[in-house]
Amino acid sequence: MKKRNIKFSEATELLYEGEKINGCDLTPESAPIFLTTAFTMGNLENVQNTYDEKGYTYVRTRNPNRNSLAEAISFLEKGKYSLIFSSGMGAITTTYFSVLKPGDHFIANENIYGETFDAINLLLVNYGVSVDYVDFTNLEAVKSAIKPNTKMIYTEVASNPTDRLSDIEELGKIAHANGAMLMVDNTFTTPIAIKPMTLGADIVINSLTKFINGHSDALAGSITVNDKEIFDKIHTIRMLTGTSGCPFSAWTVYRGIHTMDLRVRKQMKNAALLAKSLEDHPAVLKVNHPSLDSNPQAELAKKLFKNKETMTGMLSFEMPDDRQKINEFMDRLSLAHYAPTLGGIRTTLSHPLHSSHHHVPKEDLDKMGISYGLMRISVGIEDIEDLISDFNYALEVFQ
Ligand X SMILES: *Cc1c(COP(=O)(O)O)cnc(C)c1O
* Contacts to ligand X by CB under 6 A: 87-89, 113, 116, 156, 160, 185, 187-188, 207, 209-210, 219, 221, 342
Distance of CA 353 to the CA centre of its chain: 21
For residues 85 and 94, give the distance between their C-alpha atoms in angstroms, rounded to a whole number. Answer: 9
Q: Which is nearer to ligand X, 156 or 382 (CB)?
A: 156
To the nearest whole angstrom, how small is the minimum distance from the Cβ of residue 113 to ligand X? 4
Question: Is residue 369 helix, strand or coil?
Answer: coil
To the nearest whole angstrom, how small is the minimum distance from the Cβ of residue 228 to ligand X? 25
Q: Which is nearer to ligand X, 207 or 277 (CB)?
A: 207
Distance of CA 109 to the CA centre of its chain: 15
Query: How many C-beta neighbours within 10 Å does residue 203 have?
Result: 27
For residues 200 and 198, give the distance between their C-alpha atoms in angstroms, rounded to a whole number. Answer: 6
**Which candidate, 282, 290, 278, 285, places its Cα nearest to that of 371?**
285
Contact 214, 200 (CB under 8 A): no
Question: Is residue 378 helix, strand or coil?
Answer: strand
Give Rg (Cα) of the chain: 22
**Which candidate, 253, 286, 228, places its Cα nearest to that of 85?**
253
To the nearest whole angstrom, how small is the minimum distance from the Cβ of residue 187 to ligand X? 4
Measuring CA to CA, how many Å separate 172 from each of 36, 95, 199?
41, 18, 7
To the nearest whole angstrom, how small is the minimum distance from the Cβ of residue 62 to ligand X? 21
To the nearest whole angstrom, how small is the minimum distance from the Cβ of residue 248 to ligand X? 15
To the nearest whole angstrom, how small is the minimum distance from the Cβ of residue 343 to ligand X? 8
To the nearest whole angstrom, how small is the minimum distance from the Cβ of residue 53 to ligand X? 31
Q: Which is nearer to ligand X, 190 or 277 (CB)?
A: 190
For residues 85 and 234, give the distance between their C-alpha atoms in angstroms, rounded to a whole number. Answer: 11
Contact 315, 377 (CB under 8 A): yes
Pairing mode, strands 81-85 and 221-225: antiparallel
Q: Which is nearer to ligand X, 156 or 167 (CB)?
A: 156
To the nearest whole angstrom, how small is the minimum distance from the Cβ of residue 296 to ligand X? 21
How many residues can be counted in the chain? 399
Residue type, 177: A
Q: Which is nearer to ligand X, 237 or 283 (CB)?
A: 237
Q: Which is nearer to ligand X, 250 or 342 (CB)?
A: 342
To the nearest whole angstrom, how small is the minimum distance from the Cβ of residue 331 to ligand X? 26
Q: Which is nearer to ligand X, 21 or 157 (CB)?
A: 157
Q: Which helix (H) or strand (E) holds 196?
A: none
Q: Which is nearer to ligand X, 95 or 277 (CB)?
A: 95
Contact 362, 369 (CB under 8 A): no
Measuring CA to CA, how many Å separate 59 from each of 55, 63, 64, 100, 228?
11, 6, 9, 26, 21
Q: Which is nearer to ligand X, 184 or 225 (CB)?
A: 184
**Which candidate, 31, 3, 14, places its Cα nearest to that of 71?**
14
Contact 339, 348 (CB under 8 A): yes
Q: Which is nearer to ligand X, 116 or 224 (CB)?
A: 116
Return the residue nearest ligand X (CB atom). Answer: 88
To the nearest whole angstrom, how small is the minimum distance from the Cβ of residue 155 to ligand X? 10
